[in-house]
Amino acid sequence: MSQSLIVKYTLSALFTPLLFGCSSTPDEPRRAGDYSMLDSTQSFIDLNDTRRNGAIVDKGTFYPKDTYAFAYRYCSTGEDNAQRDIAEYHTLAKRVCDANNGSLIHQKTATWCVANPNTVNEMPLFSARISSTDLWADLCLDGPFVTLRLNENAYTLDSEWREAAQILGYQPYTAHRQLVPNTTVDTPLHNTPQPAAAPKPWSNESQYIYSNIGTTVCYYDQSKTNALGYTYRGQVFSVKEGLVKVLTREKIKGDIRTAPVWEQINWHDKAFITAPASAWFVCES
C-alpha cells in the first residue's frame, strides 16, 4: 500500500459538513494528531471503483456522533478481495497511528490509536474498525459487504474530544481497565463486536430521548441466535431513573442504521421494552 494514503490535515478537510456536521471550530489548530485517519480512509475508498460505489451509512444527527463518526459500506467483488481490503485497511490504520506517534490499543468497541498509552496522560486520537459480512448476499452479487467505521477528532479542544470519545466507545485509562488481546499479528484492528463493559455516558441524543415522551426511537439487539440481530422500533412511553420504557410495535431484521433494506418480522401489536436511555437512538421515519 502506498505511503501516500496517509493524509495530513488540511483546511479543506476540516470543514467538510457532510462528514463532520456544523459544530463550532475553535481558533487554535487541531491538537489530537497531525495525520487524518478520515482523510486517509477517503483516499483508501477512492482507490478503485468497487470501493467508490459504496455509501455512507449510520448517519448520526446528534452530537457527538454527527461531529466525529464516519461509517461507510460497499459490496466487495469476492471473499478474497474483501479479506485483502481488510488487510490493507489494517495496515493503513497502523501507519496513520505510527505517523501520529501513537499506539494501537484494542478495546471492546473498536481499536483505538492513542498517545501516551496506558498512562494517566493517555489521549485517544482515533478509532477504526473494518468488517465484512455475506449475510446480505442477495444484494451483493459478487461478494460480502465491507463496512468501515471510525471516530476521529477533527478540530476541537482535547477536553471536549476526550468526553465525546468516551460516549463513542473509548474507555479511558484506569489501573483496572481490561484491554482485548490482539491474537493475530498481521491484523492490528480488533473486529469481533462485543458488548460494552459498562453503560456509556449520555450523549445529547440520550438527553433528548429522556426528555421527550412520544419520540420514535429504536433499540438494536445483537441476538445470540441470529447473526444480524434485530431492531425494535416504537415510541417513548415513560422514563424513570435513567431507564426509558418504549411501546414497541415493530421488529426489523438487522441493524436499521446499516441494513440495506428494512425487513419486518412478526411482532406483537403492543409490547414494552425498558432499557437505559443510552441504549436507544432516534429513528424517526
Distance CA 125, CA 162 (A): 9
Q: Bigger pLDDT: 28 or 236?
A: 236
Residue 85: all three cell numbers together: 481490503
Distance CA 139, CA 261 (A): 9
Chain segment 210-222, per-residue pLDDT in tens: 999 999 999 999 8
Cα 107–chain centre separation: 13
Backbone angles phi, psi at 105, to 5 degrees: -125, 145
**The 3-state secondary structure of the chain, one letter per residue:** CCHHHCEECCHHHHCCHHHHCCCCCCCCCCCCCCEEHHHHHHHHHCCCHHHHCCEECCCCCCCCHHHHEEEEEEECCCHHHHHHHHHHHHHHHHHHHHHCCCEEEECCCCEEEEECCCCCCCEEEEEEEEEEECCCCCCCCCCCEEEEEEEECCCCCHHHHHHHHHHCCCCCCCCCCCCCCCCCCCCCCCCCCCCCCCCCCCCHHHHHHHHCCCCEEEEEECCCCCCCCEEEEEEEEEEECCEEEEEEEEEEECCCCCCCCCCEECCCCCEEEEEEHHHEEECCC
**How many C-beta atoms lie closer than 10 Å to residue 262's C-beta?**
13
Chain segment 96-148, per-residue pLDDT in tens: 999 999 999 999 889 999 999 999 999 999 999 998 887 666 678 787 889 99
Distance CA 63, CA 43 (A): 26
Q: Among 49-53, 139-143, 268-272, 274-278, name the one with the lowest average pLDDT.
A: 139-143
Chain segment 150-201, per-residue pLDDT in tens: 999 877 778 889 999 999 999 999 988 989 887 654 555 655 444 444 556 7
pTM above 0.85, yes or no: no
Calculate mean pLDDT across residues 9-31.
Answer: 37
Distance CA 99, CA 97 (A): 5
Residues with Cβ within 8 Å of residue 267, at least 6 apart in sequence: 232, 248, 249, 250, 251
168 neighbors 69 (Cβ within 8 angstroms): yes
Distance CA 156, CA 67 (A): 10
pLDDT of residue 10: 46
270 pLDDT more than 50: yes
pLDDT of residue 22: 32
127 neighbors 170 (Cβ within 8 angstroms): yes
Read off the amino acid at residue 194. Q
Q: Half-sphere exposure (CA, 13 Å, Cβ side) for 216?
A: 7
pLDDT of residue 25: 40
Distance separating the N- and C-terminal Cα atoms of the chain: 41
